[in-house]
Structure 1
Amino acid sequence: MSDTQADVDASMLGAMQLFLETFYGKDIARLHAEGGETTSVHIDMHLLIDYNYELAMHVLERPSRYLPVFNEALVAAQRKSVQTGLAGALAVVNESAQVRMRQLPNHPALMRTKMPGSEDAGRLLSVSGTVIRTGVVKMMETHKTYACRSCRGTFTVRAEIEQYNYIPKPTRCLAGGEEFCKSTEFLAAPGSDQQQQQQHQQESCTDYQEIKIQEQVGKLALGTIPRSIVVILEGDLVDVAKSGDSATVTGTLLRRWRPVAAGERPDIALVLRASSIDVHSGEQGGLLVVTDDVRDAFRRYWQRHAAAPMRGRDLLVAAMCPQVYGLFYIKLAVLLVLISGVARADPSGLRVRGEAHLLLVGDPGTAKSQFLKYAAKLIPRSVLTTGIGSTSAGLTVTAVKDGPEWQLEAGALVLADRGLCCIDEFGSIRDAEKSTILEAMEQQSISVAKAGIVCKLNSRCSVLAAMNPKGKYDSESPLSINTALSTPLLSRFDLILILLDSRNDVWDDRVSSFLLAGGKDDALDRPSDEDDWSFETLQAYIAHVKSSLDPESTPASEQVLTRYYQIQRQRDPTNAARTTIRLLESLIRLSQAHARLMFRNKVRVEDAVMAVVLMESTMLSASILGKTDALHTTIPDDSQAFYAELETLVLGRLGLEHLLQPT
């Protein structure tokens, strides 16, 4: 190293140490506290840029060189704290402590949603994606100490991360420089004492794990195959992320290749050596941010429609899949499933899911696939697949052999955790593989026992499935016969809506006019431009109500749901699989979702009534409202009057006329 470079490094070391002492004194104190478990300090890159722009640019452009210098500065700051007595009498210096960079500026050159290329090698980047594979945790030797037999000097050789952590054998003595000793004989043992060897092993080894992250499918163009990249985790970063997690990894992009061997072609690949990893565990995978201005716009919208809230709701429903004419109940049901209810957990740890599931059973040409595609676009974290092309491993999790070891690779239900999984042609899934999704739909987890790996993965997602009936739909036969699905699988769907393409001259004329007009429906009278819901606004609204509203039931709504459940238990012998306690839980989830849709924290009678009305589309053989045609429905001209009729009819059939609201 030249004197000039040494002076630069010394200057950088001093600046880094002063930065750490100024802004991260408390973190340094936790590092060398007696019995402390902290082994790293997370640095906010925005703060470093504001403090010293030149220093930050050096770290961003040459992290492989200056991050180790930052680690030296952290150890030096600990030593100074111990020497001055600020850390206490029992404080010790954590020599293996590391600095971890996070919160890079939101610039396209630094924050990536697409996998970086070879031109970015050597730079510090943040890459967002979904964890699709996690490897086992190993022990990696970071360096090895050698003793020269000639001059008795010792020197350290570090592992080459670019060559799969290979520690090359030295070809000459590095203890005192080339002019001092040219010996080629060394001893690898750090000492003859067993205690010395154990201490050296603890200092020179660290935990090591490799994971693979993939580009988020929802942000790619149609037909694009998502790319993936291997991420190297070391130290306290191992076991932070699991398969299916959405994560942002900040690290150094490196080129990695196997050691050169005769007769073998060198295989060079890009890897990301992580400096920090942030797992987004919140709703929607942390992929959508709703600003305060957008929240205020939502509040103003419902204030304008306070006198006629059902009209405000119907304008919102009309924005759902606008290229399809009518199908009011279907659009409302899909919207409620995307919003879903509130998960509950008791002190024992038993969790009742809040995510709702919907199955669309209908004749060909009833826009089932259109709803699935539109819903997958609305939810940032979603997976769209088809039953004919899916296996049990593709839906849940598969074991992949990578070299001598087995690793778990996440399937569709795991990748859709905290999001939506859309399965088209649901009836085409093989019978032997339908049972694999039973646990995922109800317990919201997937138990794995493959290739010696036994674990559980989260699948907390809503399932939106579509299929054609088996032959011509027979209203007199139970759902299990018409759909050829098992009763345990049917009972896990909150709603099963039937779309029968019966002949209707008036309906055919309306649909024809709608299509010939270019898919524009001018029947809705919107009072102002602010009532016109765009795709982005609807997407933000769903994310906002899911994350901020937790509706609680009221005694009146509980009476409606309980009475309806009791009547269905008595009057529906042909659909016994649907009239279990899961029916009541489904009603609760749908009423909570409708309350969220109405921007409320309380579940009112109208929410319970709409949950009952939607449930009626499932049970054609024991309906309290008569035969319900879910296909031939349009948005009512007078939403308030239409709801008032439904409320009077439902509460009257349930014997709860005293709950009718005064007009």
Structure 2
Amino acid sequence: MPDIPSTPNRPRSFVGPSSSTSQNNSISSQHEIGTSRLGSELAGLPSTPVPRSNLSGYGNRIFSTGRANPSSTSNEFSEDLVVRTTEGQHNVVQRDYLWGTNVSVVDLENDVRNFFENFRVNEDDELPYYKKLMINLSESERDLNFINVDCQHILAYSRRLYETLRDYVENAIQIFDFIASEKYENWCGVPNQLQVRPYNLGEEVAMRDLDPSDINKLVAIKGMVIRVSPILPDLNFAFFECSVCHFSLEVLPVRGRIVEPSHCENCGTNFSLDIIHNRCKFLNKQHIKLQEAPETIPAGQTPHAVVLVCLDEFKDAVQPGDRITVTGMFQASSIRPNKNQRIIKAVFKTHMEVFHIKKAEAHRVARERLAGPEEFFHDVADVHEMPDARDSLHARFHEFAASPNIYQILISSFAPGIWQHEDIKKGILCQLFGGVNKDLRDRGLGKSRGDINILLCGDPGTSKSQFLTHVNKVTPRGIYTSGKGSSSVGLTAYVSKDPVTKELVLESGALVLSDGGICCIDEFDKMSEGTRSVLHEAMEQQTISIAKAGIICTLNARASVLAAANPIGSSWNPKLPIVDNINLPPTLLSRFDLIYLILDNPDPMNDRQLARHITAMYATGPEALSAEIMPPELLARYISYAREHIHPVITDTAAEALVHAYMELRQFGGSRKTIAATPRQLESLIRISEALARMRFSSEVALGDVAEALRLIKTALCQSVTDPVTGMVDMSIITTGLSESSRQRLNQSVVSLRDYLSHRRIGAPLRLRALLEEYNQQNNANLQMHQLRDICRSLVEEGFISYNSRQDAISLIY
């Protein structure tokens, strides 16, 4: 085995296999290099151990052996066993143990070697499982230096080996690294310093249950990423040079620290060694803040968070909003209140060194997995695992897409517990699949969003919140929030102090965390005006501009918005338009592609069917209500695969059909004075058509997709933008807040009130409430206060009257 190149006057930090005599002798000089880093005096998060890429031996983590009895003060770290030979002589056999344990290094090496050589998933397999993985790794086009090891495989092979890895991971993982590298060179004929990534521990620990007994052990936790730090340089190999005699010295980390030499060993000068930064070696390090997922927080508790330390290839592996399962070593570090004193706090700071990350594809759904090893597909940088199973799953998806009734299967699979509302389900399915994001900057047109925004409004108890809950289960990324419980900074970003650098940083809000997914906002009508104002930019430009505490930036918010709103007074008034029924500004309403109105109309037949549906669901479960549906986890992966791999294009035939569909929408109102569609509806037609093509895994938008998209938009328009007075579809209701008939009535009211006020004395104040009562009584009218204010606003703009906001009164000018 190759050894570390020794530098003058520098003790070696690593040892080779314990079977070597020379290496055993070097072990006894390593008694100051322990496995625990609890004594580290670095402020904040400690530096990580020596990287595997720079050192041979047992990988990249500091390793030492010692006696089984750690209380011994002797410098001899081996146990001498006397063995009587057949000739009667006594031979001394030296055995080495992991420091502080009774685990023999020789036995551990043999167990690990036998595991790699003999483990097979099926007894009929010709080659060992990990031998096949290493051969696949060597044949991969990418230069990878890691291999994922399933801890359940280790447990099935040897419980002792599994418990050793779990309890003494800091030492055992290095032996795994060394043996894996040895086997890779023997089987593939190419040297490669492999890193072993253990995962699938089988015993996930809740963040709030981590305690001191888990320190320096292998643990697995699950949560949501809420913050990712910038990439930080981590010093792991220091080069010092004497300013007097130019003697050079290399220093490796000990217990996570680089100890600066106090004097030159060549010339004896004190404090003459200077660090040469361009001769040092650094690692890419990133800190990730992982928080408990909202659905796993116990009732009445606040979420807990754990800081993850990622190295090298794990940098930028996850983004805020990702749901991940992390396997790593839980560690603790001391905190010094004053860097000039050696006093440390009694409470240590904890963090986790990451060994393996797995992204969650279908989170918050039923925990049952599909048959087969699909769970391996979403491991970070795991490109060499199970290619046959991955291709099998993709082929299964294409079989579903080729089915002639795939559209109906998807509708039946989404929210099977909700009865009817088929058009709403179709619209939400289009939102889940989404359109194609287009970058047209080369044509001078900028970017075009493919995300679809939907608003559900109507009477209470019409399953609006249930739709949001089902979408939040299926979408790979997304946040569920409520109007009253959200603030403007909670939706966008807020400023906090970084615990490591002590600088002001931005923490992501709900819209930023939903980047690439769907942000579900319930009780949309109860949001404050300041909170809703941040949605204008996010829904159209899909960015969020921030200027806080000297931080000026633009964050990506490429997320669809699914909102649910209740009418004013919890009851829909059919005599009023949608703008007057819900407390939302027209500028925000116009940014929704589809607006669905859900009313609770009494009907004995429908009520009886709904009651039977609900009782059957509680009796047998929603799966029994439909014969042919996809499981939720399969539907989520089907949607993720379509969004990632299917990008339909618009052909010339489809483009011409879209033009005809838009012209049909423009004439949908039935009157030349009313506007039934704007260019925003044309863009919605394009996005919905692309989403329908994605459902079928089609590379082109077909004429049937355009026809279905036109039907869905017409259905939404008929419900939401119909003038209750004339019964005509008028798009100006959600663009300006007034229909054409309302605008005509407003103009007539302005003329009538002008004539009524013209007989008043100039300059005499008149309160609006008194004017409203007097005007309605004399003209036998039913004018409302908000209508009177609109009329007075028009008269103020004409210069006919003036308005006193303090007295809420008007006065005649001329």
TM-score category, normalised to shorter length:
0.5 to 0.7
Q: Could you say if the C-alpha distance between residues 47 and 514 of structure 1 is closer, same or farther in structure 2, counting changes exceeding 3 Å? A: closer
Aligned to 1:631: none
Of 353-362 and 464-473, deviating more is 464-473
CA contact (8 A) 1:323 1:519 kept: no
Aligned to 2:18: 8
- In 1, Cα distance between the equivalents of 2:573 and 2:565? 15
Q: Does 1:313 align with 2:323?
A: no
Find the residue that maps to 2:18 and give its secondary structure: helix
Q: Does 1:212 align with 2:278?
A: no
Cα deviations by residue, 1:425-484 (Å, 9 ceiling, x for unpaired) = 011111112121233223333333333333343333222110112355456755444333
Q: Following TM superposition, by how much is the alpha carbon of 1:415 offset from its aligned partner in structure 2, in angstroms? A: 1.9
CA contact (8 A) 1:247 1:277 kept: yes
CA contact (8 A) 2:336 2:342 kept: no
Aligned to 1:510: 609
CA contact (8 A) 1:376 1:382 kept: yes
- In 1, Cα distance between the equivalents of 2:252 and 2:401? 67
Q: Does 1:564 align with 2:624?
A: no
Aligned to 2:351: 271
- In 1, Cα distance between the equivalents of 2:562 and 2:716? 15
Q: Following TM superposition, by how much is the alpha carbon of 1:513 offset from its aligned partner in structure 2, in angstroms? A: 3.5
TM-score by length of 2: 0.56
Residue correspondence of structure 1 range 212-611 to structure 2 within 5 A? 212-217=289-294, 226-233=303-310, 242-245=319-322, 251-259=328-336, 266-274=346-354, 295-296=394-395, 306=404, 309=405, 313-346=407-440, 348=442, 350-402=446-498, 404-471=502-569, 473=572, 478-518=577-617, 531-569=628-666, 579-611=677-709
Number of residue equivalences: 560
Which letter maps to 2:610? V
Aligned to 1:652: none
Q: Could you say if the C-alpha distance between residues 510 and 223 of structure 1 is closer, same or farther in structure 2, counting changes exceeding 3 Å? A: farther
Which letter maps to 1:549? I
- In 1, Cα distance between the equivalents of 2:612 and 2:177? 70
- In 2, Cα distance between the equivalents of 1:521 and 1:615? 35
- In 2, Cα distance between the equivalents of 1:205 and 1:553? 49
Q: Following TM superposition, by how much is the alpha carbon of 1:231 offset from its aligned partner in structure 2, in angstroms? A: 1.9
Find the residue that maps to 1:355 and give its secondary structure: coil
- In 2, Cα distance between the equivalents of 1:420 and 1:440? 12
CA contact (8 A) 1:67 1:99 kept: no
- In 2, Cα distance between the equivalents of 1:367 and 1:517? 17
Cα deviations by residue, 1:244-279 (Å, 9 ceiling, x for unpaired) = 455666653211231377998522232123467788
Which letter maps to 1:313? Y
CA contact (8 A) 1:386 1:426 kept: yes
Aligned to 1:33: none
Q: Could you say if the C-alpha distance between residues 370 and 276 of structure 1 is closer, same or farther in structure 2, counting changes exceeding 3 Å? A: closer
- In 1, Cα distance between the equivalents of 2:193 and 2:530? 50
Residue from 684, 698, 714 that aligns with 1:616: 714
Q: Following TM superposition, by how much is the alpha carbon of 1:412 offset from its aligned partner in structure 2, in angstroms? A: 1.4
Q: Which runs of 5+ in 1 are unaligned?
A: 29-37, 75-85, 88-96, 177-184, 192-196, 629-663
Residue from 180, 183, 190 that aligns with 2:273: 190
- In 1, Cα distance between the equivalents of 2:619 and 2:645? 33
- In 1, Cα distance between the equivalents of 2:19 and 2:425? 63
TM-score by length of 1: 0.67
Q: Could you say if the C-alpha distance between residues 240 and 505 of structure 1 is closer, same or farther in structure 2, counting changes exceeding 3 Å? A: closer
Rg larger in structure: 2
Q: Following TM superposition, by how much is the alpha carbon of 1:367 offset from its aligned partner in structure 2, in angstroms? A: 0.8
CA contact (8 A) 2:362 2:637 kept: no
Q: Following TM superposition, by how much is the alpha carbon of 1:495 offset from its aligned partner in structure 2, in angstroms? A: 0.8
- In 2, Cα distance between the equivalents of 1:558 and 1:283? 37
Q: Does 1:43 align with 2:126?
A: no
- In 1, Cα distance between the equivalents of 2:265 and 2:259? 16
CA contact (8 A) 1:568 1:622 kept: no
CA contact (8 A) 2:287 2:307 kept: yes
Q: Following TM superposition, by how much is the alpha carbon of 1:584 offset from its aligned partner in structure 2, in angstroms? A: 1.3
CA contact (8 A) 2:177 2:195 kept: no
Which letter maps to 1:256? S
- In 2, Cα distance between the equivalents of 1:236 and 1:525? 46
Find the residue that maps to 2:688 and give its secondary structure: helix
Q: Following TM superposition, by how much is the alpha carbon of 1:363 offset from its aligned partner in structure 2, in angstroms? A: 0.9
Q: Could you say if the C-alpha distance between residues 137 and 291 of structure 1 is closer, same or farther in structure 2, counting changes exceeding 3 Å? A: closer
Residue from 179, 184, 203 that aligns with 2:280: 203
Which letter maps to 1:558? A
Q: Could you say if the C-alpha distance between residues 512 and 340 of structure 1 is closer, same or farther in structure 2, counting changes exceeding 3 Å? A: same
Cα deviations by residue, 1:258-309 (Å, 9 ceiling, x for unpaired) = 137799852223212346778899999x988695555555555566x63xx3
Identity across matched positions, percent: 28
- In 2, Cα distance between the equivalents of 1:524 and 1:213? 34
Q: Could you say if the C-alpha distance between residues 127 and 458 of structure 1 is closer, same or farther in structure 2, counting changes exceeding 3 Å? A: farther
CA contact (8 A) 1:383 1:421 kept: yes
Q: Which runs of 5+ in 2 are unaligned?
A: 1-10, 25-55, 61-112, 114-130, 181-189, 365-373, 379-388, 730-814
Q: Could you say if the C-alpha distance between residues 299 and 14 of structure 1 is closer, same or farther in structure 2, counting changes exceeding 3 Å? A: closer
- In 2, Cα distance between the equivalents of 1:525 and 1:278? 33
Find the residue that maps to 1:552 and give its secondary structure: coil
Find the residue that maps to 2:419 and give its secondary structure: coil
CA contact (8 A) 2:468 2:522 kept: yes
- In 2, Cα distance between the equivalents of 1:243 and 1:525? 37
- In 2, Cα distance between the equivalents of 1:523 and 1:60? 41
- In 1, Cα distance between the equivalents of 2:248 and 2:657? 85
Aligned to 2:790: none
Higher relative contact order (Cα pairs below 8 Å, separated by 6+ residues): 1
- In 2, Cα distance between the equivalents of 1:227 and 1:443? 34
Q: Could you say if the C-alpha distance between residues 534 and 159 of structure 1 is closer, same or farther in structure 2, counting changes exceeding 3 Å? A: same
Which letter maps to 2:603? N
- In 2, Cα distance between the equivalents of 1:387 and 1:375? 17
Q: Following TM superposition, by how much is the alpha carbon of 1:129 offset from its aligned partner in structure 2, in angstroms? A: 4.5
Q: Following TM superposition, by how much is the alpha carbon of 1:370 offset from its aligned partner in structure 2, in angstroms? A: 1.0
- In 1, Cα distance between the equivalents of 2:614 and 2:178? 69
Q: Following TM superposition, by how much is the alpha carbon of 1:128 offset from its aligned partner in structure 2, in angstroms? A: 5.7
Of 239-248 and 554-563, deviating more is 239-248
Find the residue that maps to 1:614 and give its secondary structure: helix
CA contact (8 A) 2:332 2:348 kept: yes
Q: Following TM superposition, by how much is the alpha carbon of 1:611 offset from its aligned partner in structure 2, in angstroms? A: 1.5
CA contact (8 A) 2:59 2:195 kept: no
